[in-house]
Amino acid sequence: MRIFLSYLFIFYSSIFYGQILNDDALYYTDTSKHILSFKTGAYYGASQLSRDFVNVLVNGGEISSEMKDRNILRADKLNRLGGELYANFSYYNLDLKIFNQFGYYLGLKTHFSSALKYTDDIYESVFYGNSLFKGDTISLSRTGFHSREYHSAFFGLFKENIKFGLVYTSISSEMNSYIHNGGIYTSQSGAELTSNVLGQMINTNNNKFQSGFGLGIDLEVRSKITFLDSSSNAMFVAGVSSFGLQFLGQNTNTIVFDTSYTYRGIQVSSLNDFSSTLLPSDIFDSLSLQNTSSSITSVLPFELYIHKVGGKLNSKIHSTFGLRYRSASNYATLFYFGGEYLFNSNIVVGSIATYGGYSKFQLGSYFRWRSSSAIIAISTNNILAFVSKNSSGMGINFSISYLMK
């Protein structure tokens, strides 16, 4: 547990990704024929752990009893901790020349993500010890961890109401582990620990540049909300991203573990025997590991989304809301709702409340500026992180789109 937490936050502690959607130039332009777009950012979120607790995990220091007690009150039966880093460069040609009705787009993107899903029992046992569980079981069921590095190239066609594309993904690394069912029982005397665990782990050999590849599709449909205003730019947008198959290489390790073991401590006599391991010999016989190294074909991690953007052109206030779901990512469905204020035709500010993802409630904000030739947006997923040590999650996202007629 501590290793997972440390790895996650050391990797993502310097840059944070904001999950705000209102920065896509395609939703806010009707005169440009060509768009060059660049987006980058990073994010981390925690459903239980507060910002000061995370800072100690990353930078070192003392985790006080007050910090541990405050975080245990925030725990659910299942908690999440995760982060990601991404960059995306794309080109859109809106001149409908293909079959006299389609424009096209192409681009490159890179994406790193890592997340941990754990029970409240795991938190208590790690930071308080297992004495609280005498005569009881530390639940490990439905816990999991993933870490992946993907680099993708994409190409597609679109017109006003639909976008369809193909995605090729080079998989540098993929690790995904999950415990289907299991726990650790502590005897009433505290002298014995009995574990029963059923789960599996898939891990690619990332010594090479590419450990596998994926083939997927992007599909997005849009529907104008015309009853608001005949000239409104409001629309519902729904889609799926990178839906397809992944093909992991021959050196992919699949470990299935079905373990039942009772631990009664280490014999004192074995401490003086340097020729043998300190662990009891029967622990390895009890693990029942099935370790295979071969290629694997499975579903490529994908994302589903639906959201509403824009509004009446003569209105100063627009609403936005939607949801996002990600597969195989220890990610809870994200729901959000918010609004934006149009100071003028060039400057927009907004705020969005979110619940889900790697976190619980967060309050984000964004700023979008438009000129005749560019759209620039910057956002944060959680403004509370800048004012409260009890907040969880932080992020910033930046995008710039160059518009050409």
pLDDT at residue 17 greater than cutoff 50:
no
Q: Are the CB atoms for 168 and 190 separated by under 8 Å?
A: no
Residue with tokens 């582990």: 177
Q: Is the pLDDT of residue 243 over 90?
A: yes
Q: Which residue range forms the structural domain that includes residue 15?
A: 2-404
Q: What pLDDT band is residue 278 in, cutting at 50, 70 and 90?
A: very low
Is the model's pLDDT at 62 over the cut of 80?
yes
Between 293 and 111, name the one with better pLDDT: 111
How distant, in Å, are the alpha carbons of 26, 98, 222 from that of 158? Answer: 11, 10, 11
Q: What is the DSSP string of 365-397?
A: EEEEEE-SSEEEEEEES-GGGGT-TT---EEEE
Per-residue pLDDT band for 190 (boundaries 50, 70, 90) equals: confident
Confidence at residue 271, expressed as pLDDT on a 0 to 100 scale: 42
Record the pTM: 0.84
Higher pLDDT, residue 28 or 394: 394
Least confident range of 10-14, 45-49, 59-63, 218-222:
10-14
Map residue 264 onto helix, strand or coil: coil
How far apart CA 301 and CA 71 sit, in angstroms, is 31
The whole-number average pLDDT for the span 215-220 is 96
CATH number for the domain harbouring residue 67: 2.40.160
Q: How many domains does the chain have?
A: 1
